[in-house]
Amino acid sequence: MPATQRFEGPSDLHLHSVHSDGTESPAQVMAAAHAHGLRTAALTDHDTTSGWAEAAEAAASLGMTFLPGMELSSRHEWRSVHVLAYLVDPDDAELRAMTERIRSSRLDRARLMADRISRDYDVVWDDILAQTTDGATVGRPHIADALVARGLVRDRAEAFSGILSPRGDYYVALYAPDPLTAVQLVVGAGGVPVIAHPAGRAGLLPMPLMERMLAAGLAGFELEHRENVGSAVRTLRTLCRERDLIVTGSSDYHGLGKPNQPGENTTDDAMVTRIIERATGSAPVYP
């Protein structure tokens, strides 16, 4: 029997743990997925695969299939573009070098933002460090949590719309590769690249860039995601139908960091199968 016949839906392919900016351990994330009725779940922490082992073990003990993933940071001009990287080889040298570079830049950038913020607000770098787990990919959500802990904002959402806004005085950009390079790195690591929340408030990426990414092996788009808005989703749905691309649906669960709940969007079994069959970098972990 082919291995791909052993997973069962419903499947949620985008969840975060404390290895990046989620608030729960990988095992807790898998338990939350299970409690929401999921039978297959991915862990897609930003720019790291360090949560995979714990998630795989927890999923197995819950009778679930674990699908290893990552959400790779990239940037096109001023906007950040997130590339979901499924079933990559976690030891691929080029991908590892890139994720290490991004994570180290994220740390420098968080320090710079902390320096700027601490001129106006009673919060220091140690407050932010206290919100991160050792080795985690650091991001603005951890700064947000420090601001919440200091009573300066109510929640992450308020921090993001104010103090942490890219239009504000405290924002510092992080280093990230361009989206085409990100796709090439994921493909080079045997993985399956899917653009996360591709129809967010920033709108669609320019079509010529998307064409270059598709030519480089971009597999599809996360069309079911609460941050997708407006007619851009319809445009992409048509593109996916015409080109027979992979379409996914996911929660982007961050524990208490966002209202998103596991399983609020799911990915069809046929699409999960296509992801598994296309990958050469690693395999799902079946119960």
| Pairing assessment for the beta strands 79-86 and 192-195 based on DSSP bridges | antiparallel
Q: What tokens appear for 152 in the block?
A: 């300066």
Q: Is the CB of 54 or the CB of 252 nearer to Fe ion?
A: 252
Q: What tokens appear for 97 in the block?
A: 């070098």
Q: Is the CB of 83 or the CB of 276 nearer to Zn ion?
A: 83
CB count in 10 Å sphere of residue 75: 16
Out of 51, 90, 249, 257, name the contact with ligand AMP by CB under 6 A: 257
Q: Is the CB of 71 or the CB of 224 nearer to Fe ion?
A: 71
Q: What tokens appear for 45 in the block?
A: 């922490």
Q: Is 156 in the site for ligand AMP (CB under 6 A)?
A: yes
Burial class of residue 2 (count of CB atoms within 10 Å of its CB; 0-12, 13-18, 19+): exposed
Q: What is the DSSP string of 70-132?
A: EEEEEEETTEEEEEEEES--TT-HHHHHHHHHHHHHHHHHHHHHHHHHHHHSS--HHHHHTTS
Span interacting with Fe ion, options 76-84, 97-105, 114-122, 255-263, rule CB under 5 A: 76-84
Tell me, residue by residue from 133 to 152, as one string, x for binding to ligand AMP by CB under 6 A and - for no binding.
Answer: ------xxx-----------
Out of 21, 54, 89, 127, name the contact with Zn ion by CB under 5 A: 21
Q: Is 54 in the site for ligand AMP (CB under 6 A)?
A: no
Q: What tokens appear for 91 in the block?
A: 């030891």
Q: Is the CB of 92 or the CB of 252 nearer to Zn ion?
A: 252
Min dist. Cβ of residue 141 to ligand AMP (A): 5
Task: Report which residue's Cβ sits closest to Zn ion.
Answer: 21
**15: which DSSP letter?**
B
Q: Is 258 in the site for ligand AMP (CB under 6 A)?
A: yes
Out of 39, 252, 262, 263, name the contact with Fe ion by CB under 5 A: 252
Contacted by 222, from Fe ion, Zn ion, ligand AMP, none: CB < 5 to 8 Å by type = none
Q: Is 45 in the site for Zn ion (CB under 5 A)?
A: no
Beta strands in the chain (DSSP E): 11-12, 40-43, 65-76, 79-86, 192-195, 220-224, 246-249
Query: Which residues make up the interface to ligand AMP (CB under 6 A)?
Result: 21, 46, 139-141, 156-157, 160, 254, 257-258
